[in-house]
Chains A and B, each alone.
Chain A
Amino acid sequence: MSLLHLDKATIKFGGLIAVNEVSFEIKTGQLFGLIGPNGAGKTTCFNLITGVYKPTSGSIKFEGREISGTPPNKIAHLGIARTFQNIRLFGALSVLENVVVGGFLRHRTGLGSAIAYLPPAIKETEELKQDAMRLLEVVDLAHVANVRSRDLSYGMQRRLEIARAMATQPKLLLLDEPAAGMNPQEKMDLTGTVRRIRDEHDKTVLLIEHDMRFVMELCENIVVLDHGEEIAQGPPSEIRNDPKVIEAYLGEAV
């Protein structure tokens, strides 16, 4: 079943067409890659899907329902969560608190109950913390749960971004360059983590990544963008040998 469907999604910033009639379809359970050179429009695609921008034209459907123009917080409630290329953690909050913010969208108790600090709010807070703790174990950050997130290492911050997004219990998880700045060992571990997220936590994953080995190894299907245009689409074996892709990357080993 098609989970996410972009149909000729386009966005212009003044004269610049950052994303030009991009269409692709992600099926439930897929591990999908979005690649392309710098400035190709990959992050802008994420911003369109998550409601940061409204497409100039074209449609974006999630579970068959038009979502373009829906504000980001509503998109999160519908079941799409993301990480950010330029890490955007809540720096002053602890690692655990960051994840609790992600889980908070499922809260049931009212603000009044929290302000009066009544048992329902206390209980819910405990539950949210326990859920968050379990997610921290998935990304191997449980041992630093009480550290201020600003003080984490770069690789840990990237993993925390994933845990925070997972906490919203999304159906579709968007990862924007999750391996950027990681060393080879960390990248290997991350490959395992992303696989587990898909296999054991039943998420559909769409990820942007510049590291070709990482993408080719992990993704079952890949879309390639260049200058806002979609230039290729298919499984890694096809993408690797596509002349247009090789040209776009100007001879970089693909």
Chain B
Amino acid sequence: MSDKLLSAVAVLLAALIAGLGLFWHPEAPARPLPVPALPAGGDFTLQSAGGPVALADFRGKVVLLDFGYTYCPDICPTALAATAEAIEQLEPDERARFAALFVSVDPQRDTPARLREYTAFFHPAIVGVTGSAEQVADVARRYGAFYARQPADTAGGYVVDHSADLYVVDRDGRVVDKLAHGTPPVRIASALRRAMTTP
């Protein structure tokens, strides 16, 4: 093959690639991914086995907030296991700048003592809190967490339908991220890091 032919082929190929680059946009992520609307959130004080716990106690730390109930046999264990795995992925200095709260929306059955045992099973860093039905309802409403007691036809007593998002609260007490149920621990950890490093 002559050099001339070779360079002609090269020019053609280059033109083809340039053309592709110009006109071919396979599923180009031109639009940013939709950011979920973040709830107003805000401060609250609830009861843990070790006494009252206020969100404001953690100012300066990033808080991962989760709503659920200990009779939940499936969704809550998955969410708390994910939380525990994310905590394990943090470096010790990052863990020192972080707290995890599990808010029970079933205060009728979940005493603070029971909550402590439950959360410690997953990770000792997770603090279980609850309050009166009204307090819990107020916190859940402000964070956009949904729950509804259902008299399901099961021998296990009532079940509680609930949303299962994780909320990331930054060092100033603002909700900065909402992670859907099933978010892998590695992505939870990176969301926590982002909140720790964002000025």
Whether A and B are associated in the same complex: the answer reads: no
B residues with CB within 8 A of A: none
